[in-house]
Chain A
Amino acid sequence: MFSFDLLVNAVVAGILLGGFYAAVSLGISMSFGLLEVANIAHPVFVIAGAYAAYMMNTAVGLDPVLTGLLFTPVFYVLGVVVYRIYYASFERKGEQSLRGLVFFFGILFIIEVSLVLTYGVDYRLVEAPYIGRSLLIGPIGIALRLLVPFMVGLVLTLALHLFLGKTFYGRAIMGVSQDALALRLMGADPIKIKTIAFGLGIATTSLAGALLIIIAPVEPSMGREYIGRVFAITVLGGMGSIGGTFVAALILGVAESLTSTFSGPSWALAVSFGILLLALAIRPSGLFGR
């Protein structure tokens, strides 16, 4: 059964899948890694993004990636609202651990059930010229429906990396993750900065959702499969390191792709959980932790 071509193809597909996983995890790297807000509802926002892409694609035939870009402001505002409620109800009172988690879990549940009520539990898909086509380079086949998400994920990673390192607001976000009090002494409002950072984290889910529905059909409860993945990637990537998140996403993508090629796709989910538990047990600060 084992062949070299199969192995190479699995690795290539895994790397491409990893680029997409990076797009899904970057937002959680910002909210959980940098701000320590354990937003377990993050994946369900990705699903909501996928349904936005589906809606625009079936209604006016808009390209999913373009829809993803167009909807980022909407998701940004959504993120700002969620963070404001979270801050006023939990973080300010120092009750983020228990009640904050339950709050996000409630949001996850409400969005998921609302999607079921609106669209039902059937799988939905989009149409675009690059879906279903692939490039052949020697023995390696590259499906465009994987290549496009990889490229977008890569661009998103670079953009966030530059934003956090070079711009005023980006540096302020890095500052608030290190020492919120110092930021206040410098005359900046840490809450405002955190709101922007959290909003940006949710804004990325609009694009990530569009990528998700390009790769495969989507149904409302799919977000749960991504909870283990995104947190495994964030922890492995070193909690808030953008580059680290990208590398960890590639590692997980390749590991899952190899597992599903050689022992069946239904085992792929167990890989992320194994990696998460291993990372937590052996090195909770991740591969690139400070």
Chain B
Amino acid sequence: MRRTLPVVIALSIVGGGMLLTGVVENRYFYFATYVILQYIVLSTAWNILGGYTGYVNFGTPAFFALGAYTSTFLMLFCEAPLLVSIPAGGLISGLLGLGIGYLTLRLKGVFFSIATLALTVVLQTLIINWEFVGGAKGISIIRPVAIPFFRNYVQFLFVVMLGLAVGSLAIARWIEHSWIGLGLAAIRDNEEAAECMGVPTLRLKLFAAVVSGGLMGMAGAPFPYHISLIEPLSAFNLDYAVNSLAMPMIGGTTTWVGPLVGAVLLGTAQQVATVTISSELNLLIVGVVLVGFVILAPDGIVGLLQRMLKRK
């Protein structure tokens, strides 16, 4: 029962989303919720490496955009459907995580962070120089007109992203409760001690980097269909790097609930702010909130709540 319950919950959430598409018509609702769900995947993915092991990845845009461009490439090259592009994007971005991780995760954590920062700029340069996928000016993507079981493609994308969000939360929860999660937490607390106790630190870190990068790539794969015009500036947007680390930081980094709480709160606030005030000002607020939380409430909202409950 304890094992089947989460599966039942997960399936019913995705099923509920599917039913919802039969009820609500408003397209903006799906568009806005899609962005929030996408941030749930990105922040959960970031947290698997950043929160569980303490290795800060600033390269979310690189992994995300690599997934997006993998699916763009597959569609231009052989008209692959989205449900094929998602695992492909995940695979390619996972491999990128493995490569970068293998080169830099053996050194101090700072070097991994610097390498991921530089990675975004370089990958963007490569895409700008690659005319097949649109180069600097981008390329427009034509969505399939009809899709079985759904009224339109926007609703289909919404359900796909909902599935990815639930799936990534399930993976994060599974990692947390398995021996892998214990090993990752040991790395975060004291890597040298963990190594001495026989924890295979490098292999665990690489595992986390692959899963984290792979999930980011999967989140990116539907992106070209979502915005219909893919170009480097929007795919490699620094906002993804800021948000995917700000959300776990604000929610709390040690459990799978933290990124979810952070993504829902910050994601919703941003959707509201973009409509009501300017989007630059809204980014400034994210930056200030992030710095404030990191200084004043290092354990995030989940940590604050836990402390309040303990006091009672």
Contact = CB atoms under 8 A, between A and B. Distances in A.
Interface of A: 32, 38, 40, 85, 89, 95, 97-99, 101-103, 105-107, 109-110, 113-114, 116-117, 221, 224-225, 227-228, 231-232, 235, 264, 266-267, 269-270, 272-273, 276-277, 280-281, 284
A49 to B, nearest CB: 20
A273 B104 CA distance: 13
A273 B121 contact: yes
A110 B125 CA distance: 25
16 contacts: A40-B113, A40-B117, A95-B298, A97-B56, A101-B113, A102-B245, A102-B249, A105-B245, A106-B246, A109-B238, A109-B283, A224-B238, A227-B117, A227-B118, A266-B128, A280-B111
Contacts of B119: 273
Contact of A105 (B103, B115, B242): B242
B103 A281 contact: yes
Interface stretch (B139-147, B169-177, B285-293): B285-293
A110 B114 CA distance: 19
Contact of B294 (A99, A228, A276, A284): A99
Q: A89, A101, A103, A110 — which one has the most chain B CB atoms within 10 A of its CB? A: A101
B118 A109 contact: no
A264 B128 CA distance: 12
Q: Name the prevailing secondary structure of the A interface residues.
A: helix
Contacts of B113: 38, 40, 101
A290 to B, nearest CB: 16
A63 B75 CA distance: 53
B118 A272 contact: yes
Interface in B277-312: 280-281, 283-284, 286-288, 290-291, 294-295, 298
A280 B103 contact: yes
Interface residues of B, number: 42
Contact of A103 (B111, B117, B294): B294
Given A280-B104, A281-B103, A101 B56 contact: yes
B58 interface: yes
Q: B109, B110, B115, B284 — which one has the most chain A CB atoms within 10 A of its CB? A: B110
A125 B126 CA distance: 28
A117 B294 CA distance: 24
B19 to A, nearest CB: 39
Q: Name the prevailing secondary structure of the B interface residues.
A: helix
Contacts of B245: 102, 105
Contacts of B54: 97-98
Contacts of A103: 291, 294-295
A281 B99 CA distance: 11
Nearest to B99: A277
Given A89-B295, A102-B56, A228 B122 contact: yes
Contact of B115 (A102, A116, A276): A276
Given A102-B56, A102-B290, A270-B122, A284 B111 contact: yes
B281 A117 contact: yes
A106 B291 contact: yes
A105 B57 CA distance: 11
B56 A277 contact: no
Contacts of B56: 97-98, 101-102, 105
B78 interface: no
A185 to B, nearest CB: 26
B103 A113 contact: no
Contacts of B122: 228, 269-270, 273
Nearest to A121: B280
Contacts of A98: 50, 54, 56, 109, 253
A102 B103 CA distance: 22
Nearest first, the 5 A-B pairs at minimum CB distance are A228-B118, A106-B291, A109-B287, A110-B287, A273-B122
B281 A266 contact: no
Given A113-B284, A117-B284, A277-B115, A85 B125 contact: no
Nearest to A93: B298
Contacts of B281: 117
A116 to B, nearest CB: 6
B114 A276 contact: yes
Given A85-B295, A116-B280, A281-B103, A109 B242 contact: yes
B234 interface: no
Given A105-B242, A105-B245, A280-B115, A38 B110 contact: yes
Contacts of B24: none
A116 B283 CA distance: 11
Given A40-B114, A105-B242, A116-B280, A266 B129 contact: yes
Nearest to A88: B295
Given A85-B295, A114-B284, A117-B281, A269 B125 contact: yes
B288 A97 contact: no
